[in-house]
């Protein structure tokens, strides 16, 4: 637990508070106020991100503090896109999740500024991490829908949620693929091999394969086993979380990605 | 009478014609139904086969998920040898073969170009990486008599040239058909350097190094002044006194000369060494560290064939040199004196296939999932 008594910390805490208030007010059916608070929280998160960028003099996507800060920022445009372009539901859930995304940045990880080590000085650094962050947000939304589809009882509602999950994964999957391939290409330039069998690489491959399995399973059975479709999605998120946290934080695996703690 | 005969003649022929047409029709019908039956059986078998292929695909995907998890627990080094072992070679071949079979039996995979790109992309990635692996290099040697070093390391001193490569697998030495010369090697640092100061009570400061700068640490601690910076700190004796100086010819020993003025007015000169942190006198109230952060390692390389320079590049991390079917990477260096560099040499066999596969997979995935699926 690390409380940050800095301007940056303050901005993050304001954003978390606004996101939470937005969730509560929307939940209590005051949608206009909720939207306003959500936007206010987003602006605060953007300011925190911009401040960090200025502070470290490179795009802040180097460690988990910066990645979670970024996730807290991009949650807003992603949920806006999903609502207005895809007509997807779960807008109030997005607000709650945006707040949860900022919690590790606000309370868990250290904000000590770091210089970029030689391996990270590449133009592929930003697209590789940014594309992954974006895909994780879509996959998280998909998982949220999948859990919802497991909870609802009506056949029609169930099919709707299943379909919404599928559409979210259809957006997230190419981003996940792109992230994997950009990482692989970067690995070739920096470490000499496009695949190093590093634990983080293997977990990210496993998460990608879970979605590959999901698509093949859904092609085979359609919506006949809709609950199993949802379980695939949830499994995918579990794998993503392991990729994101466990490898970095545990001492179980040491690997090339160990600087990204 | 003749009319009657003619009538019966006509009738009998008509009857015959009708009978023949019935027979023909019946035969035709029989023929059609046979072809339909044959076609149906064929289609049925094909569908069953497609089902088997799909189940096999799902099984292999699930298997690879489990293998990846297992590999993650092994750690990179052991995972690499595990995924290059013989049983796994069988797995990779099976996966590649199944993808090819899939494209043959599922017409949809050919009709939908995006799906074709995705699956052919995967085949190219697998085929390229099999061709570029250790086993792939043995295969190249057997089939095409191409003898290439899969991967290894080379150590080159400044001003020297080298063509020997220490191979990764068996500590053997391989030779490149050309020489690599190291003109110069250097380590670059971020500016500014930092001086970290800590009191015995645990209070600490991290200040950027500026020569002549005085850092006031409060009334109870005093003032620290940064006097001078050394690249290679050395000491010589002049008139019976120890005099520090910067010796460009010796091994790097970065240091700072600082003056500590305590609150009681006493001044002491101290040397802070980057390489020897924690070097303090027992009477000192402050711990000092000299920190420099590496920004890059640069090897200036030349490729020589018949004693002529045919290629030249300053390689650094993320910017390798590509020549003669090999990539040369900045891998390690002489941390003590900076006199040599260690390069990693990697064969580029199969790499173009892998890159083509990457491109196809990306384009295919974006095309198929973004342009076709997301609209409600």
Give the domains, in start order, of chain B with CATH numbers.
155-188+295-347 (2.60.98), 191-292 (no CATH)
Q: Quickly state the pLDDT bin for B376 (edges 50, 70, 90).
A: very low
Q: What is the average pLDDT across A197-217?
A: 94
Instruction: Map chain A to HEC letters.
Output: CCCCCCHHHHHHHHHHHHHHHHHHHHHCCCHHHHHHHHHHHHHHHHHHHHHHHHHHCCCCCCCHHHHHHHHHHHHHHHHHHHHHCCCCCCHHHHHHHHHHHHHHHHHHCCCCCCCCCHHHCCCCHHHHHHHHHHHHHHHHHHHHHHHHHHHCCCHHHHHHHHHHHHHHHHHHHHHHHHHHHHHHHHHHHHHCCCCCCCHHHHHHHHHHHHHHHHHHHHHHHCCCCHHHHHHHHHHHHHHHHHHHHHHHHCCCCCCHHHHCC
Residue B370 DSSP class: I
Which residues 157-216 of B are in CB contact (within 8 Å) with A? Answer: 190
Q: Which residue has the higher pLDDT, B175 or B37?
A: B175
Q: What is the average pLDDT across A209-222?
A: 94
For residues B109-143, one letter each, b for 16 or more C-beta atoms within 10 angstroms of the residue's C-beta and e for the rest, the string is: beebebbbbbbbbbbbbbbbbbbbbebbbeebeee
Residue A255: its pLDDT value, please?
Answer: 56
Averaged pLDDT of chain B: 87
Q: Which residue has the higher pLDDT, B121 or B1?
A: B121
Least confident of A103-107, A209-213, B337-341: B337-341
CB-count burial class (<10 Å; 0-12, 13-18, 19+) for B18: exposed
Least confident of A66-75, A88-97, A209-218, B11-20: B11-20
Residue B263: its pLDDT value, please?
Answer: 81
Residue A121 contacts B, CB cutoff 8 Å: yes
Task: Indicate the pairing of strand B233-238 with strand B241-246.
Answer: antiparallel
Q: Quickly state the pLDDT bin for B357 (edges 50, 70, 90).
A: very high
B361 CA: distance to closest CA in chain A (Å) = 8
Residue B365: its pLDDT value, please?
Answer: 95
Contact A167 B297 (CB under 8 A): no
**Crossing angle, helix A64-84 and helix A7-27, to 10 degrees?**
30
Q: What is the average pLDDT across B263-280?
A: 81
Q: What is the value of ipTM here, to two decimals? A: 0.89
Per-residue pLDDT for B2 more than 80?
no
Residue B44: its pLDDT value, please?
Answer: 85
- What percentage of chain A exceeds 70 in pLDDT? 92
Q: Is-contact B73 A200, C-beta < 8 A? A: no
Least confident of A3-7, A130-134, A229-233, B25-29: B25-29
Tell me how far apart the alpha carbons of residues A58 and A51 are, in angstroms, rounded to a whole number: 11
Residue A191 contacts B, CB cutoff 8 Å: yes
Residue B231 DSSP class: S
A36 CA: distance to closest CA in chain B (Å) = 27
For the stretch B64-105, pLDDT in tens is: 999 999 998 888 889 999 999 999 999 999 999 999 999 999
B297 phi and psi angles, rounded to 5 deg:
-115, 130
Residue B317 contacts A, CB cutoff 8 Å: yes
Residue A154 contacts B, CB cutoff 8 Å: no
Residue B64: its pLDDT value, please?
Answer: 97
Residue A15: its pLDDT value, please?
Answer: 95
Residue B3 contacts A, CB cutoff 8 Å: no
Contact A192 B369 (CB under 8 A): no
Contacts of A171 in chain B (CB under 8 A): 369-370, 374
Q: Is-contact B354 B132, C-beta < 8 A? A: yes
For residues B251-269, one letter each, b for 16 or more C-beta atoms within 10 angstroms of the residue's C-beta and e for the rest, the string is: ebbbbbbbebbeeeeeeee
Sheet with B204-208, side-by-side order of all strands: B204-208, B194-199, B286-291
pTM of the model: 0.85
């Amino acid at each position: 637990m690390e409380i940050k008594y800095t301007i940056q910390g303050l901005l993050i805490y304001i954003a978390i508070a606004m996101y939470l208030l937005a969730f509560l007010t929307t939940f209590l059916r005051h949608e206009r106020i909720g939207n306003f608070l959500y936007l206010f929280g987003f602006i605060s998160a953007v300011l925190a991100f911009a401040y960090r960028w200025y502070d470290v003099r490179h795009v802040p996507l180097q460690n988990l503090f910066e990645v979670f800060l970024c996730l807290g920022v991009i949650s807003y445009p992603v949920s806006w896109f999903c609502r207005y372009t895809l007509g997807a539901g779960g807008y109030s859930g997005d607000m709650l999740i945006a707040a949860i995304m900022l919690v590790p940045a606000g309370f868990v990880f250290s904000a000590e500024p770091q210089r970029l080590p030689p391996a990270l000085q590449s133009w592929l650094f930003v697209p590789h991490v940014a594309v992954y962050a974006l895909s994780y947000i879509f996959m998280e939304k998909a998982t949220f829908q999948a859990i919802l589809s497991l909870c609802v009882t009506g056949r029609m509602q169930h099919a709707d949620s299943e379909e919404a999950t599928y559409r979210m994964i259809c957006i997230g999957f190419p981003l996940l693929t792109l992230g994997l391939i950009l990482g692989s290409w970067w690995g070739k330039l920096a470490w000499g091999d496009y695949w190093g069998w590093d634990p983080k690489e293997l977990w990210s491959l496993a998460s990608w394969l879970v979605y590959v399995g999901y698509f093949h399973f859904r092609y085979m059975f359609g919506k006949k086993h809709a609950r199993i479709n949802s379980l695939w999605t949830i499994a995918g998120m579990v794998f993503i979380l392991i990729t994101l946290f466990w490898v970095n934080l545990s001492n179980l695996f040491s690997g090339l990605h160990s600087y990204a703690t | 009478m003749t009319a009657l005969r003619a009538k019966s003649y006509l009738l009998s022929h008509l009857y015959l014609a009708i009978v023949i047409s019935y027979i023909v029709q019946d035969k035709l019908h029989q023929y059609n139904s046979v072809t339909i039956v044959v076609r149906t059986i064929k289609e049925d078998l094909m569908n069953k086969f497609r089902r088997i292929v799909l189940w096999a695909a799902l099984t292999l995907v699930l298997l690879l998920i489990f293998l990846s998890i297992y590999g993650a627990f092994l750690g990179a080094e052991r995972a690499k040898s595990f995924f290059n072992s013989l049983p796994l070679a069988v797995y990779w071949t099976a996966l590649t073969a199944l993808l090819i079979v899939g494209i043959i039996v599922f017409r949809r995979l050919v009709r939908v170009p995006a799906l074709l790109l995705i699956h052919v992309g995967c085949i190219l990635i697998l085929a390229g990486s099999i061709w570029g692996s250790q086993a792939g290099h043995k295969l190249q040697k057997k089939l095409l008599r191409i003898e290439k070093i899969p991967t290894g390391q080379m150590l080159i001193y400044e001003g020297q040239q080298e063509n020997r490569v220490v191979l990764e697998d068996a500590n053997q030495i391989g030779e490149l058909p050309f020489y690599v010369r190291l003109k110069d090697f250097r380590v670059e640092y971020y500016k500014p350097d930092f001086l970290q100061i800590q009191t015995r009570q645990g209070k600490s400061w991290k200040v950027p190094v500026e020569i002549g700068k005085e850092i006031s640490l409060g009334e109870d601690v005093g003032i620290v002044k940064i006097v001078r910076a050394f690249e290679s700190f050395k000491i010589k004796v002049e008139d019976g006194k120890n005099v520090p100086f910067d010796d460009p010819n010796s091994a790097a020993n970065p240091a700072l000369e600082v003056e500590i003025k305590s609150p009681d007015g006493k001044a002491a000169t101290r040397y802070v060494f980057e390489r020897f942190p924690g070097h303090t006198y027992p009477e000192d109230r402050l711990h000092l560290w000299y920190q420099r952060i590496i920004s890059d390692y640069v090897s200036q390389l030349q490729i020589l064939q018949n004693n002529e320079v045919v290629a030249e590049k300053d390689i650094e991390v993320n910017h390798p040199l590509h020549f003669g079917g090999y990539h040369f990477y900045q891998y390690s260096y002489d941390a003590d004196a900076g006199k040599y560099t260690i390069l990693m040499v990697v064969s580029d066999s199969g790499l173009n296939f892998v890159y083509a596969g990457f491109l196809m997979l990306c384009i295919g995935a974006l095309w198929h999932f973004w342009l076709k699926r997301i609209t409600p």
